[in-house]
Chains A and B, each alone.
Chain A
Amino acid sequence: MSRLHPRGNHQDSPNEPVPRRRKNALGRDPFEELASPDSATDGFTPLPSGTEPFVEPPLNPEPATQPRAKTRPPGERSQTSESNDAPMTDESTPPVSAEPSRGWLDFLLGEREENLQKAFESLVDAGTRYDRYGFSPTVAKQSFPFFRTLYDYYFRVSSEGHEHLPVDGSAVLCANHGGLLPFDAAMGIVDVALHMDPPRVVRTIVDRWVGTLPWVNIFYARVGQVIGTRKNFTDLLRDDQLVLVFPEGMDGIRKTIRQRYQLQEFRVGFVEQALRNRAPIIPVAFVGNDDQMPILYDIKPLARRLGIPVAPITPTFPLLGPLGLLPYPVSYKIVYGEPLRFEEQFEPDAADDPKLVATLAGQVRETVQKLLDRSRK
């Protein structure tokens, strides 16, 4: 019988010492490097004998039959952060033994972002420092200042209607999409994080195509974006998360300048999910996204040939090369509308009726369009 290395072949002794090799820099992704400050990313050592095992509370509790989301009355601010606790943690989490280390990012971010960090931490699986979709609090925290800067100084975002956002429980944020690159989603995430107390992390549903893009797929996963499958959507809502969807899908980002701020056909899956999981739908209007990179013409045959969703011609692209893909520093406005509580009007079984679901999706589309038109005035 051939002798193979004990680490990989079970026919050898497991007790044989394995020499540690020096770390290799080959093939590491930049986002992997970002996550390296986590102590959990280093190799772990075996537990001393006799250590009590950590028992995890059940994940994904059954969906409540009653609507769970509560909205905050205007002007009232939450006094506690308990409502945003993770479904993955409870009192059985090992006690805190030391003060957390404070780096330059902490000084840069301030108190609000410390709370945001707690919100980030609450999403990950205890033990692995990632959630099941690949979200990493470390990467999210490190990229937050960049998007915060864009939010404050580049897009100069103003927003209103935060009182409609639930302080806890699940909700589906349904918004218009546009502008070729999804800065609207990024600004929405930053806005919710900054204006909610305690901060909440918005999980955006993205197209499966994103998963095929090198590096982009890693970054998207690390900052909490989730590929839009039925199962993932259900799990996110069952975990009481805020889910941001763009029901126009790719049609939203390839709108030409003549179609700007005109909503395209809505997909209906989000309504079905909201009904089944008893979540309210909150219409959201993004003003500015359709101006950040107006598409003059979409060369559809070229896009099909290249296997990309859009082959745009903008005033600056391809004229200025890759630089032409930079969004223009337009002013963003985000408006959150009143929640549409279909879950109070219909039973979960109503999600099985495609006609009803399509009608409700049409209602949502109409509401978002009205909100958008009103916000632009």
Chain B
Amino acid sequence: MTRVLVTHADSPIGRRIVKTLRSDDSVESVLAVSQAPTPPEFDNRSRGPIPGLSYQRADLAKPRSMRRLFRSPTFESARVDTVLHIPWHGLAPLPPVSGLPRRTAELRLLLKSCREAGTVENFVCLGSAFVYQLLPGNANRLDEGSELDFDPDVGPDIRSWIDCDMMLHEPLNRGPFRTVLLRVPSVVSDDGSVYFNPSVSGRPGPRLRALGFDPMSAILTEKDLTQALLCAIHSRESGIFNVAGRGAIPLSQLARWNQCRSLAVPPALLGWMSSGARMLGNSASLSEEGPHLRYGFTLDTTRAERDLFFRPSVPNELVRQMPPPATG
């Protein structure tokens, strides 16, 4: 039986994962951790004790808060053996912590705390597939061995994903716990919200798009994401795995789903506008300049299907929207 700690459990993805884990027979208990006050669905006081679920408030980027979490009676009693880290994945810039982007700082501290705790056997972390280097064209089919984008001009959001990715290489190679990194593309929820995409996720507002380009975006439904995480928790394999659904759609359509206004600008001006928006403090809503605004990609999930037994499905909602095929 597995005892799981879920970080950022108050996020829509986190809530869904916690709910799925609770209904999984092989999961004994779930310790949900988040910076926010106790969400109603995790609140023991208002609804009475929820079997197998406890909630602890903690700021993952602050050493003191993390020490308090890992030494708390809740953590002790939960006897956590698996940590499921859902990194912060909004686009709005949060203030850096100790000179590091918040996402990077959180992962760094979490890894350190897990090492010190000594009880953690499995560490499963979500990563972004936008860390890969993209070449011109829509047909970048990326597997786990594809090169990462080490361009020094890469935007800060993607750079922090790359930093997180690199940070996980140490536990991947040396332990002390089994580590699984799932690189995910744009995650689409049932209501059409899009996460993990540096072009359209985040606060509503205009999105920059390269004029004359409409890159294909690999997509993953929340349901598939949850399935992949469960596979990663229960598998004995460690390593990096690409996880994506069957479908891919153009960026313009993804933006429409997320109800973002897309503002197409000549590619030569993208960098200027993006930098200008950052300087004006508006980078929360404008997408980051990068190859992902011009060139599309899909993920080769063969490894995840073979080793984790992940089975991506076609998004049900999309199937329903399909016009019926011609008859006769």
Contact = CB atoms under 8 A, between A and B. Distances in A.
Interface in A335-359: none
A14 B136 contact: no
Q: Which 7 A-B pairs have the closest CB atoms?
A: A214-B212, A10-B11, A211-B137, A27-B264, A211-B136, A128-B247, A227-B137
Contact of B262 (A8, A27, A55): A27
Interface stretch (A90-98, A290-298, A322-330, A364-372): A90-98
B242 to A, nearest CB: 13
Nearest to A48: B320
A229 interface: yes
8 contacts: A8-B201, A8-B202, A10-B10, A32-B253, A39-B321, A46-B191, A46-B317, A130-B248
B141 A132 contact: yes
Interface string A46-59: 11000101111001
Contacts of A53: 223, 313, 316
Contact of B317 (A44, A93, A214, A226): A44
A80 interface: no
A127 B319 contact: yes
A215 interface: yes
A131 B249 CA distance: 8
A231 interface: yes
A79 interface: no
The residue in A21, A31, A51, A127 that gathers the most chain B C-beta atoms within 10 A of its C-beta is A127
B214 A218 contact: yes
Contacts of A24: 261-262
B218 to A, nearest CB: 8
Interface of A: 1-2, 4-11, 14, 18, 20-21, 23-24, 26-29, 31-32, 38-47, 51, 53-56, 59-60, 88, 93-94, 96-101, 114, 117-118, 121, 125-134, 208-215, 217-218, 221, 226-227, 229, 231-232, 235
B203 A121 contact: no
B324 A211 contact: no
A133 B136 contact: no
Interface in B5-22: 8, 10-15
Contact of B318 (A9, A40, A97): A40
Nearest to A89: B325
A26 B256 CA distance: 12
Given A59-B246, A97-B324, A133-B139, A217 B92 contact: no
Interface string B82-104: 00000011111010000000000
B214 A32 contact: yes
A41 B15 CA distance: 28
A221 B324 contact: no
A47 B189 CA distance: 12
A134 B249 CA distance: 7
B117 interface: no
B192 interface: yes
A235 to B, nearest CB: 7
Given A24-B262, A27-B263, A218-B213, A47 B298 contact: no
B280 interface: no
Given A40-B318, A100-B325, A133-B216, A208 B35 contact: no
Nearest to B94: A2
B248 A100 contact: no
Contacts of A55: 311, 313
B130 interface: no
A130 B296 CA distance: 13
Contacts of B256: 23, 41-43
Contacts of A227: 136-139
The residue in B10, B262, B319 that gathers the most chain A C-beta atoms within 10 A of its C-beta is B319
Interface string B209-220: 111111010110
The residue in A18, A94, A118, A211 that gathers the most chain B C-beta atoms within 10 A of its C-beta is A211
